[in-house]
Chain A
């Protein structure tokens, strides 16, 4: 049993080592070097890139990324929880409803972001409709601000919240809910005192699966934010392109990874040795 198992895991070890660990190690090495005269990397080795990170402006970008990712996560939770609850209670049609949630997700992320640009522009559908209905006179500036970025992120990552929530809610013991009803609890109380606390693992999992990608987002703030929103992802991208400062870009990348690692260690319990 053990021999076969070693062979089975070997390819994955090989891929993870060469295409994940080694590249990250290279980036780590880069972060300790200095920017070449005209870009790229060169000697000497130094901690300068990391020291630069301590600057308030970069800390401000980190803070801003946290707040946008946080807002998107909270919205995903608020929007996704009732939906997950609905699906978990819909009996025979569970899989159909679940598929309907996943369906938009499995189209191109780019296309979904583009769809929101199409909708939110001044001459986009929402404004045109509101104007035709006479509700507004001038178009509302829906695009190119933090709000648009958050909407785009929520739209892109909602399924990541719904699925783990559904998984937890589906396994909820019906008896508990019946007992609560028998004891005279109103639906709202049953919800807040019983259902929500019991679905804590799902909420945790969903929050992590939404928050972490949102933290590192770069396309969404770029396209929907009109270039006015700088999140960590944009900063990294800027360093590797316009600024051609690979060491600093690497340092920011690794810092982001470190934040992700800390969040994971704090919030993810190792319930099983395998994944999820």
Chain B
């Protein structure tokens, strides 16, 4: 079976493009459509975390052409000379992006990256909880003992603690960070586990009553069960725009541009957002979404909620060291 596949590959003279993306982050027919329209053959790989992706591409010889880092990874990638410039002239549909993503903080002229989708972190909960959680402080509530999880990610956990204290998720102040760490350690006895997407099933089955969760995963849980709800905490929350970048090592940069151009098409972007249950950065795409999805409060919340969101920024080396140390302490506590 695979031998036949290999044989077919070696005879395949079509140009190739290697895309490395998050899991469940694209519509099933996007790649086939692209292949049919352009005649370019795509190899599509997936990863579960920025770190996993970065570990592979750091060496500069991974073989991937396009990867999808979260915004705060773009700067370190640039500093390590991993990125190839993006030629705006080849991407007229950049104009389709929402205004706040046309000149984003991490790349104001969009010279290196193309915004893709946006994730936010909040609280997913079982509707049996009465009253439902509305703030980060609710995740420290005794009634959730043993039935609550937090994300297994230092930025997310420290971010939630910082927000609970009324501070910025991007804080670099050692005093603030230590206070956040103290909060996390205080919470630990109540915590069932640090889990990422795998907690979705436990939420649906009722093992877990409240989970620190990204809005996409929560939406997927809500698709499976009417008992699940999602809340954007009142103190504020972290927002993670993901973007597409072209790797410097890529020998197929023109083909990569073709793929990025394809992703920016409103119809394609809409299909991707719909299939992966995510918020798209593409305003043109958003208009094409079915109403029930377009006005979905979990993925497309109202302006007052959006105002509370804070974009995750790159952490500088010194605070990074401290955060890493604090995370180890939290985990070992």
Contact = CB atoms under 8 A, between A and B. Distances in A.
Q: Note whether A and B contact each other (Cβ less than 8 A).
A: yes
A244 interface: yes
29 contacts: A35-B317, A37-B79, A38-B76, A38-B79, A38-B80, A38-B317, A40-B80, A57-B329, A122-B202, A123-B206, A123-B207, A141-B192, A144-B193, A226-B149, A226-B192, A226-B194, A227-B152, A227-B193, A228-B188, A228-B331, A230-B328, A238-B324, A238-B328, A240-B55, A241-B49, A241-B51, A242-B154, A242-B324, A244-B51
A23 interface: no
Nearest to B155: A242
B80 A39 contact: yes
Contacts, number: 85
A241 B58 CA distance: 11
A39 B76 contact: yes
A215 interface: no
A141 B52 CA distance: 30
Contacts of A230: 328, 331-332
Interface in A26-68: 35-40, 57-58, 60-61, 64
- Chain B's interface size range is 35 or more
A21 B329 CA distance: 33
B172 to A, nearest CB: 15
Nearest to A242: B51
Interface of A: 35-40, 57-58, 60-61, 64, 121-123, 139, 141, 143-144, 225-230, 234-235, 238-245
Interface of B: 49, 51-52, 54-55, 58, 75-76, 79-80, 146, 149, 152-154, 188, 191-195, 202, 205-207, 317, 320-321, 324-325, 327-329, 331-332
Contacts of B192: 141, 144, 226
A242 B155 CA distance: 10
A241 B52 contact: yes
B194 A228 contact: yes
A225 B332 CA distance: 12
A76 B51 CA distance: 35
A243 B324 contact: yes
A23 B32 CA distance: 41
A121 B101 CA distance: 42
B191 A228 contact: yes
